[in-house]
Chains A and B, each alone.
Chain A
Amino acid sequence: MGFRAAVITFPGSNCDRDMACALELVSGTAPIRVWHGDAELPENLDFIALPGGFSYGDYLRSGAMAANSPIMRSVIAAATRGVPVLGVCNGFQVLTESGLLPGALMRNASQNFICRTVPLIAENTQSTFTHAYAGKGTVHIPVAHHDGNYFADEETLDRIEGDGRVAFRYTEPCNGSRRDIAGVLSAGGNVLGMMPHPERAVEDAQGGTDGRFLFESAIAALV
């Protein structure tokens, strides 16, 4: 059996198809598409992806309503069992709102929507999601967000830094994020939230392929 992944679609998700295409391109197996109102995830998943977009129109706060949608109870249960969960952009916001990851994503310090390819380094190259970044140095992956300004209190920041849970860091200031944090891992290492879009950097036609390493990492770790 191939790599059994699921991509969750919330009302207002708009990177779900890109995420599904990237997973299929890299793994060779099309992921299962899951709707937010479904109560249960498919069984025996190897990987769950929460895509970018504007779930519920970003009403109240980005990701807040999606974090409380029916499917998220199953996602939280799966994450607790150790299933790898990747949240990109709005998916990252959903993960922080759901409590699976620490901190919060606030409005960009510049107030502007930021849409460009940014330089990043993988700070942790041991994780399920990032081990293929070892030795790659600075990589380039697109961001496209209005609310990507990562915030956590100093104590939390010190703790996640100390525990190697900063997965990615911008190499230059991007959106006002504390300590230029671009991606954060859960304590167990099986949940990653990141603002940059690896699914938009998996084939040459997209202008770069540095996002591919993330999917290759996850697939190599599991198959």
Chain B
Amino acid sequence: MKVRILVRLKPGVLDPQGRAVHHSLDGMGFEGVEDVRIGRMIEMDVADGTSDEALNSMCEKLLANMVIENFTIEKLETAGAA
């Protein structure tokens, strides 16, 4: 099973990288960019049947820092499934 995890900064946590990228986009002449937030995407191949509990635990203990980040878990198609 493929799993895609998106880790994002919590709302309200200042994102210096996003701000710098926003600034660069403005400087390049792109108009209408109102905000930029940078997160992280992690794709994993895990055994079919890996529990939600296990996936949550991986995120809470390592993949995200719950002080500053939230995560979402998206299960993609099981390899070989129709």
Contact = CB atoms under 8 A, between A and B. Distances in A.
Contacts of B62: 60, 64-65, 68
A169 to B, nearest CB: 19
A199 interface: no
Interface residues of A, number: 21
Contact of B16 (A61, A64, A149): A149
Contact of A107 (B17, B63, B67): B17
Interface stretch (A28-36, A96-104, A212-220): A96-104
B44 interface: no
A64 B62 CA distance: 7
A110 B16 contact: yes
Contact of B68 (A104, A108, A110, A111): A104
A160 interface: no
Contacts of B63: 60
A129 to B, nearest CB: 23
A190 B65 CA distance: 23
A109 B16 CA distance: 5
B67 A111 contact: no
Contacts of A104: 65, 67-68
A152 interface: yes
Contacts of B61: 68
19 contacts: A60-B63, A65-B62, A68-B62, A96-B67, A97-B65, A102-B67, A104-B65, A104-B68, A106-B14, A106-B16, A107-B17, A108-B16, A109-B16, A110-B16, A111-B17, A111-B20, A151-B13, A151-B67, A176-B14
